[in-house]
């Protein structure tokens, strides 16, 4: 009979063999974020659909094509979160974080959902580590945030990383630039790809994100937003670049970096890695979103953050080969069925003493069970046979030296600990 269901397209299992890499990423996130004074936050997996429509923007790919939206039994339109920033801004106000000393520095880890075209490094359920700094707009915070992300990658030993940087202005200078871009593209509309013709109408800034070969010559000569920033945006961008240079993080200015979500103002950036290739080379990205809180109906409040893709980073970590999982200390087995419960009790006493203990409830031959113990990486086997049981004893076998000793039961914890020290 065929299984009733298969893994849903675009989802993946993070199997035990990949968990050491995964835990490495989680630990590095905790370390780098808390070292810089960031506090952990978790928000719901689903939110009111409007939250994402208003924040990412109706014309963004995320809202137009990629959201998992459903109506619940109460008739509400809900959406599985496609990204974290909008939820964090909502939680910042909902949870009264706006009343705390500013800025508030937050980090989060978890799954996100987009109806993307699945391929290596692109999934429908994926995972991000992200940070957000909300409540103060100083340009140094842009650099702090960029540095936290950079530090995460170096904590993981990932070199060969590129940082792309741009400023996309704000509500003062961007509208005029948008018109300038339209004026530039208008005479060439019939040479553009279909997607670009839609972008021209709905979201001209995204014209700069087009990867279609036929559109590249035109894009290369398009007016650059960095040449049309208003005074305050230009000053902020100069500060960011100056401070970034001082940190020693190498970066490349990319005037066509515009990002896929509409809430950004001023600084935008992406971490890229050569080995992934194609559209999946962005390991992470972020930027400033000073207009987002007001767009969501809250008091105008500046913010900046990034998110890195853990699934893409996992692909890079896996290229380095497997990480040895933490092995077992003790493999416990009873030779006869009547002694199983006794073995269970001993295993539990050893666990209470802090050891990693697996109980084998099987009835296979001893040599087969010892082979299993070796495959599980156990350093010591604890064997309870009828003889030992009768005398209130147990056998401790050193799996490496293949030697064994018989010890009284009341000394088992001490004897196993000693055997492990020598194993």
Binding residue for ligand HAM, selected from 85, 87, 166, 332, defined by CB under 6 A: 85
Confirm or reject binding of residue 83 to ligand HAM (CB under 6 A).
Answer: yes
Confirm or reject binding of residue 260 to ligand HAM (CB under 6 A).
Answer: yes
Q: Of all residues in this chain, which one has the CB nearest to ligand HAM in the complex? A: 309
247, 143 contact by CB (below 8 A): yes
Confirm or reject binding of residue 129 to ligand HAM (CB under 6 A).
Answer: no
Binding residue for ligand HAM, selected from 105, 273, 312, 369, defined by CB under 6 A: 312
Binding residue for ligand HAM, selected from 152, 185, 306, 331, defined by CB under 6 A: 306
Shortest Å, Cβ 82 to ligand HAM: 8
Confirm or reject binding of residue 284 to ligand HAM (CB under 6 A).
Answer: yes
Confirm or reject binding of residue 266 to ligand HAM (CB under 6 A).
Answer: no
- Residue placing its CB nearer to ligand HAM in the complex, 110 or 377: 110
Which one of the spans 79-87, 155-163, 188-196, 228-236 is the region binding ligand HAM (CB under 6 A)? 79-87
Confirm or reject binding of residue 114 to ligand HAM (CB under 6 A).
Answer: yes
Confirm or reject binding of residue 135 to ligand HAM (CB under 6 A).
Answer: no
Binding residue for ligand HAM, selected from 52, 60, 81, 84, defined by CB under 6 A: 84
Binding residue for ligand HAM, selected from 32, 55, 79, 128, defined by CB under 6 A: 128
Confirm or reject binding of residue 80 to ligand HAM (CB under 6 A).
Answer: no
- Residue placing its CB nearer to ligand HAM in the complex, 38 or 123: 123
> CA 163 to CA 252: how far, in whole Å?
6
> CA 132 to CA 89: how far, in whole Å?
9
- Residue placing its CB nearer to ligand HAM in the complex, 168 or 399: 168
103, 5 contact by CB (below 8 A): no
Confirm or reject binding of residue 79 to ligand HAM (CB under 6 A).
Answer: no
Confirm or reject binding of residue 334 to ligand HAM (CB under 6 A).
Answer: no
- Residue placing its CB nearer to ligand HAM in the complex, 122 or 397: 122
Size of the site for ligand HAM (CB under 6 A): 27
- Residue placing its CB nearer to ligand HAM in the complex, 83 or 170: 83
| Residues that bind ligand HAM in the complex, under the rule CB under 6 A | 83-85, 114, 116, 122-123, 126, 128, 130, 132, 260-261, 282-287, 289, 305-309, 311-312
């Amino acid at each position: 009979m065929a299984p009733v269901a298969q893994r849903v397209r675009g989802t993946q299992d993070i199997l035990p063999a990949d968990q050491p890499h995964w835990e490495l990423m989680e630990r590095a996130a905790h370390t780098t974020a808390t070292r810089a004074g960031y506090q952990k936050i978790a928000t719901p997996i689903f939110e009111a659909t409007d939250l994402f429509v208003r924040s990412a923007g109706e014309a963004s790919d995320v809202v137009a094509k990629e959201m998992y939206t459903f109506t619940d039994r109460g008739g509400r339109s809900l959406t599985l979160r496609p990204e974290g920033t909008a939820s964090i801004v909502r939680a910042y106000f909902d949870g009264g974080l706006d009343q705390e000393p500013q800025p508030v520095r937050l980090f989060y880890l978890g799954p996100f959902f987009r109806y993307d075209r699945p391929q290596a490094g692109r999934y429908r359920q994926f995972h991000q580590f992200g940070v957000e700094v909300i409540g103060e707009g100083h340009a140094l915070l842009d650099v702090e945030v960029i540095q936290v992300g950079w530090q995460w990658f170096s904590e993981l030993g990932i070199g060969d990383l590129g940082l792309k940087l741009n400023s996309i202005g704000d509500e003062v200078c961007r509208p005029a630039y948008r018109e300038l871009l339209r004026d530039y593209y208008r005479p060439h509309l019939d040479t553009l790809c279909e997607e670009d013709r839609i972008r021209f109408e709905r979201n001209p800034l995204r014209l700069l994100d087009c990867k279609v070969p036929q559109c590249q010559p035109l894009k290369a000569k398009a007016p650059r937003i960095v040449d049309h920033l208003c005074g305050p945006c230009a000053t902020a961008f100069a500060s960011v670049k100056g401070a970034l240079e001082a940190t020693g993080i190498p970066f490349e200015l990319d005037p066509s970096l515009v990002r896929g979500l509409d809430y950004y103002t001023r600084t935008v950036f992406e971490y890229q890695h050569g080995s992934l290739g194609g559209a999946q080379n962005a390991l992470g990205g972020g930027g400033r979103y000073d207009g987002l809180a007001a767009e969501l109906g809250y008091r105008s409040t500046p913010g900046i953050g990034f998110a890195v893709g853990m699934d893409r980073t996992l692909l890079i970590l896996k290229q380095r080969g497997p990480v040895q999982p933490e092995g077992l200390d003790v493999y416990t087995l009873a030779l006869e069925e009547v002694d199983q419960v006794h073995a269970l009790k001993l295993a539990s006493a050893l666990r209470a003493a802090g050891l990693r203990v697996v109980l084998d409830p099987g009835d296979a031959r001893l040599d087969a069970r010892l082979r299993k113990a070796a495959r599980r990486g156990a350093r010591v086997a604890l064997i309870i046979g009828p003889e030992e049981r009768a005398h209130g004893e147990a056998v401790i076998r050193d799996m490496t030296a293949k030697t064994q000793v018989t010890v009284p039961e009341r000394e088992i914890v001490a004897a196993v600990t000693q055997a492990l020290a020598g194993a």
